[in-house]
């Protein structure tokens, strides 16, 4: 899958109508400052698409991005889907009321969108996942939403450090190695694997033909989520 266009659509304080709604949605969840906005920019190769900040807690709304992608290998298939950047959780300096408001936005979206097909749970590769990360993984499993973990900022670690960090992520989130993508927004490492994962979510039948292992919670019988042609 090759991303051909991406654009910011809107920010919402609760999930509701927005331009183009009706295509598949893929949510990004994670702690504040884990790198969700940077991932969106690197994945879509547009450094100005999502606002990034070194200060945690900057994403305080549900930010919607529309993505158009084309099939590889001469395929004429094109599709649109939305990336949904959820407010970061675990920001200690936010007030209790503010944290509860963010939690309500996150849970309201995850349970309220009938077009949500998958989630990316971002965790910082440099640290053991927090209890908040573990609870989010359990919550996604509890509502039956397929997801994979994305270990961000891997360029900050040596190979030896990363090899020690990954088993901690597997155990804390109760996931298998194939349910995790190692990622660096700085170097682009992991981009091809993440695009392949998203394509398998949007087009399970093609994943079967290519011999790709589907993300947990999806089956080949699910069929294509959406397909549009120019």
What pLDDT score does 211 carry? 45
User: Does the predicted model carry a pTM greater than 0.75?
Assistant: yes
Q: Give the pLDDT means over successive 10-residue stretches in the chain (230 positions).
A: 94 91 96 93 94 58 93 71 90 57 84 95 96 94 96 97 96 95 96 94 64 47 35
What pLDDT score does 215 carry? 52
Cβ neighbourhood burial of 168 (10 Å; 0-12, 13-18, 19+): middle
What pLDDT score does 226 carry? 33
Q: Which CATH architecture has domain 2-222?
A: 3-Layer(aba) Sandwich (3.40)
- Name the pairing type of β-strands 2-12 and 62-70: antiparallel
CA dihedral (21, 71, 146, 167) positive or negative: negative
What pLDDT score does 78 carry? 79
């Amino acid at each position: 899958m090759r991303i051909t266009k991406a654009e910011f659509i809107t920010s919402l304080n609760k999930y509701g109508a927005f331009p183009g709604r009706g295509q598949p949605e893929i949510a990004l969840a994670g702690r504040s400052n884990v790198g969700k906005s940077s991932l969106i920019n690197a994945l879509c190769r547009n450094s100005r698409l999502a606002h990034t900040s070194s200060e945690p807690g900057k994403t305080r709304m549900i930010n919607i991005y529309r993505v158009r992608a084309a099939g590889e290998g001469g395929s004429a298939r094109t599709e649109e889907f939305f990336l949904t950047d959820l407010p970061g959780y675990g920001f200690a300096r936010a007030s209790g009321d503010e944290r509860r408001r963010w939690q309500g936005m996150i849970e309201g979206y995850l349970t309220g969108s009938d077009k949500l097909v998958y989630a990316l749970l971002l965790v910082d590769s440099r640290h053991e996942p927090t209890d908040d990360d573990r609870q989010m993984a359990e919550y996604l499993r509890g509502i039956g939403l397929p997801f994979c973990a994305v270990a961000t900022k891997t360029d900050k670690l040596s190979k030896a450090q990363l090899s020690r960090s990954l088993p901690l992520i597997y155990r804390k989130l109760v996931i298998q190695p194939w349910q995790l993508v190692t990622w660096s927004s700085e170097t682009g490492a992991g981009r091809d694997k993440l695009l392949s994962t998203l394509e398998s979510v949007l087009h399970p039948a093609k994943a079967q033909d290519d011999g790709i292992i589907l993300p947990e919670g999806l089956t080949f019988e699910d069929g294509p989520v959406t397909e549009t042609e120019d």
